[in-house]
Chains A and B, each alone.
Chain A
Amino acid sequence: MMRLSSDSTRQVRSLRPAHSITLARTLHPGAWWVWAIGLAAGASRLTNPIGCLLLLAVAGFVVSARRSRAPWAYAFGGFLKLALLIIVIRIVLQALLSTESQGVHTIVVLPQIPLPSGAAGLKLGGVVTWEAVITAFDQGLQLATIICCIGAANALASAQRLLRCLPGALYEVGVAGVVAMTFAPQLVADAVRVRSALRLRGYDGRSVAAVRRSAMPVLEGALARSVDLAAAMDSRGYGRTTVDRRATRMATAGLVIGGVVGICAGTYGLLGSAGSGWMGLPTLGLGCALAVVGLVVGGRRTGRSRYRPDPWALPEWLVAGSGVAAAVILFLLAHAHPGAAVPPYPLQMPEVPPLLLVGALVGVLPAFLAPPPPDRVVDKGRPR
């Protein structure tokens, strides 16, 4: 008897398995997105190229450590390519179309094309300076880092899975999002197939007429597919349990819209330099509260249930927390060392204060604190 009771107390005290950071499972997609948005927000305060490169490395390392084997998990590479493209475009545009006052270290003098006086402040061609190019590189790198953070979230938890976690009141919006997301790749695949079929009629497939011709079968196919999908959803009970009372619907809509307006106004007040800071926080709080009430009221409308919702346990708190902490540290850095966050002289080696390193290190924690995805451990662990 004694042993039994001590056993049971031990069991009561032991952690829920969801709290374990080593038990393989898929993390709640929200946690990854909070983490990624935290990093992106931090990057939005930095044009320090070393800081941005550090954040890029952090995002890449976490992705390679914790991504699954699903097709979307390979999205990060695509985002990296996009980032490179952004940097190149930024530099080329800056070099071609920048204003005069851009420093003294000339790289090359391009032939200048005179512009009408209306385009004051703009020039086309002319002197290209090191200062202009490096500033452009820094700014392009910042944007690239933000995009790669979002790419990391996409690779770690697909946007479709995130949409599944939307509150019940937003279910229809979520379904529309999921359908659109599966639809777009199918549309692209159809377009590729039809375009290649143009060859079968003897067209080259590059002319405008050819594109116009192939649009017809692609769009018709898409329409046919959406009708099929609607029929399938209808025959599987979509929308059956929704209690649709006019009063509830109006109340939900009013609350949610009011909340969104409040959130927008509050965010503007907080982040915008012109607005007064004291007004931002209360408005933001009020907006959030309204939105939450609206979602709760709206959620009662649906009688849907949810299959195996992702739990929100310790690892989720840790991952989301590390993103938020990284953002807070980088904001502090921007406040305390503005010269390190946004280097004033592009040609000088930027400062790297310890706070920047701490921020990056906090951001990399999920690579160790998040549980590994199940499909990456099965092969290794299980005896055959």
Chain B
Amino acid sequence: MIEFVDVSVTYDGAAAPVLAGVDLQVPEGELCLVVGPTGSGKSTLLRCVNGLVPHFTGGRLTGTVTVAGRSTRDHHPRDLADVVGFVGQEPLAGFVTEGVEEELAYAMESLGVSPPVMRRRVEETLDLLGLTELRGRPLATLSGGQAQRVAIGSVLTAQPRVLVLDEPTSALDPQAAEEVLATLQRLVHDLALTVVLAEHRLERVVQYADRLVVLPGDGAPVRVGPPTELMAASPVAPPVVELGRLVGWSPLPLSVRDARRAARGLRRRLADNPEAATAAGPAATVAATGPVEEPLAQVRHVVVRYGAVPALRGASLDVRPGDVVALMGRNGAGKSTLLKALVGLVEPASGDVRVGDLRPARSKPSTVVKVVGLVPQEPTDILYADSVGAECAAADREAAAEPGSCLALVRRVAGDVPLDRHPRDLSEGQRLALALAVVLTAAPRLMLLDEPTRGLDYGAKRRLVTTLRGLADAGHAVVLASHDVELVAEVATRVVVLADGDVVADGPTAQVVTASPMFAPQVAKILAPGPWLTVTQVAAALPAETPTMRRFSRRVAAEVTFRRGGDPTAEDAP
């Protein structure tokens, strides 16, 4: 169906090719998953399939890409619209019309499909994707999952034989992501559609994939093969695979179900050593600081309204130094609003928010930033300069900090970042690190992060975990809103679940997270009823037998060094 023969892509002005010598064949009816760290060329590979690279993006492509017998050399993306459906990351950015039905029909109108056929296909697609209830709705009123399903539907009506999706769930909460992935599953199984998919959160999809394309980055050759084989050496892997590698299971389990079957022996071994779970987990921090300290921030029965719609209906929360609090819950549950209230971006209609002895919404912004800092969902919203160096210098000036202190923070979080690079050209992880450093330069004791893991690969996430834990150990408090259960399990000491503007659960991570299947990390599902949440904890409890295990114990050691103020990049050293 899709054939890449010796494909290399070099963008204009780039020194090295993004993709080099890719050979790939995807037969009809397969779900092909493209994995790799940020910047390894996943998007480029996907955009080659329908000719957006190079017709739309520019650059130079050598070799041939053939889809259903048509070469992208002489077919533009629009000429492939009836063969390849392309769905991007941000569904709203790709909508052309304003209503669900019109959007579904748009591609067919462009192709000149006759009206009776259009009418029938729209009805079929509405049923297939479960969009019937939404048919008359304006696109602007859809939720994230609904919008993404409409985006998929809008390319399906042209009846393509290949569906290409570039991180379709990265902007969605877990429930909405399930919704979209279930839809994809159904399309593969019922319509024998060929699906090519890139995704950062492998734990969501790897078990469904028939074929894996691993792009290791740094010019290493692309590997293609069955998931169980390739996952054994993939640079990015979901926790279930990491656990399998750690214990040395073969064949490597990809789903919680397979791993749970294989884990009978492991559960027994771990049962002897339960105290290791608390020793290596984030709960260690709580034990060290103790619950006696004065709260750093207090939220009391806060109500926040946008117009007449209440976003928070009397939420309360205490944050103490050393806490890493994870706010979880659906999109629209009030997580972002709670963070905004803590930093004074919104003023509560009633109730009280105090950080230290400050009421953030009533205080001067320049005073607030010294006490509480927020990294917004789009880190670029707080980056205004045209290079990393200028941004850091500005941050130092604003905070009246020692020149170079912001840059030192960037280096500590993200390693070496080129100073002359524009912030928009950084990778997602580096951009987040820059925003984090800019906020940290003012040395606030309370750090807030809104959805920090959007678009981060596993490496960047690990650095983030280390940084946040280091902050907590140094007496800061961190509150983060996140959908990422694996990250929460790694870093949070406490989890607060919000629903409909209210706090519905508040307690230690292990308790809250294991109580619900929606929020439980993979390791907890595999090793239930044990107290284990992360692979790091398991590694700490087992004697170092395999090379992977030794790597893990090194990571644990590196984290401990970092908490004492050492160099976090040590974990990446061989």
* Residues in A lying within 8 Å of B, measured CB to CB: 70-71, 158, 160-161, 164, 175, 178-179, 182, 193-194, 196-205, 213-214, 216-217, 220-221, 225, 228-241, 303-308, 374-375
Contact = CB atoms under 8 A, between A and B. Distances in A.
B507 interface: no
Nearest to B377: A193
A179 B383 contact: no
Contacts of A237: 78, 81-82, 107, 110-111, 158
Interface string B64-98: 00000000000011111110111010100111111
Contact of B78 (A161, A182, A240): A240
Contact of A220 (B90, B112, B345, B380): B380
B98 A201 contact: no
Interface stretch (B234-242, B269-277, B363-371): B363-371
B364 to A, nearest CB: 8
B115 A240 contact: no
Contact of A306 (B98, B109, B344): B109
B97 A178 contact: yes
A307 B118 contact: yes
B215 to A, nearest CB: 21
A17 to B, nearest CB: 16
A17 B74 CA distance: 48
Nearest to B111: A237
Contacts of A198: 365
A277 to B, nearest CB: 43
Contact of B52 (A158, A221, A235): A235
Contacts of A303: 112
Contact of B98 (A178, A213, A214): A178
Interface residues of B, number: 70
Interface of B: 50, 52, 55-56, 76-82, 84-86, 88, 90, 93-98, 101-102, 105-115, 118-119, 122, 136, 138, 140-141, 154-155, 158, 343-345, 364-366, 368-369, 373-374, 376, 378, 380-384, 386, 395, 398-399, 424, 438-439, 442
B115 A306 contact: yes
A196 to B, nearest CB: 5
Contacts of A241: 110-112
A151 to B, nearest CB: 19
Contacts of B90: 228
Nearest to B122: A307
Contacts of B398: 201-202
Nearest to A197: B381
A201 B399 CA distance: 9
B377 to A, nearest CB: 9
Contacts of A307: 101-102, 105, 108-109, 115, 118-119, 122
Contacts of B122: 307
A137 B82 CA distance: 59
14 contacts: A182-B95, A200-B345, A201-B382, A201-B395, A202-B365, A203-B365, A220-B424, A228-B88, A231-B86, A232-B94, A234-B52, A236-B154, A237-B107, A303-B112
Given A175-B96, A182-B98, A305-B114, A238 B78 contact: yes
A213 B383 CA distance: 9
Contacts of B112: 241, 303-305
B112 to A, nearest CB: 4
Contacts of B88: 228, 231-232
A305 B369 contact: no
A213 B115 CA distance: 49
B108 A305 contact: yes
A193 B376 CA distance: 10
The 4 closest A-B pairs by CB, nearest first: A232-B94, A237-B81, A307-B105, A237-B110
A213 B109 contact: no
Nearest to B138: A70
A245 B81 CA distance: 23
Given A178-B98, A228-B88, A307-B109, A217 B383 contact: yes
Nearest to A230: B56
A182 B102 CA distance: 15
Of listed A196, A199, A203, A236, residue having the most chain B CB within 10 A: A236
B78 A228 contact: no
A357 B138 CA distance: 38
Given A200-B376, A305-B112, A217 B384 contact: yes
A72 to B, nearest CB: 8
Contacts of A182: 95, 98
Given A193-B381, A199-B345, A234 B82 contact: no
A382 B467 CA distance: 57
A71 B78 contact: no
Nearest to A196: B345
B380 A236 contact: no
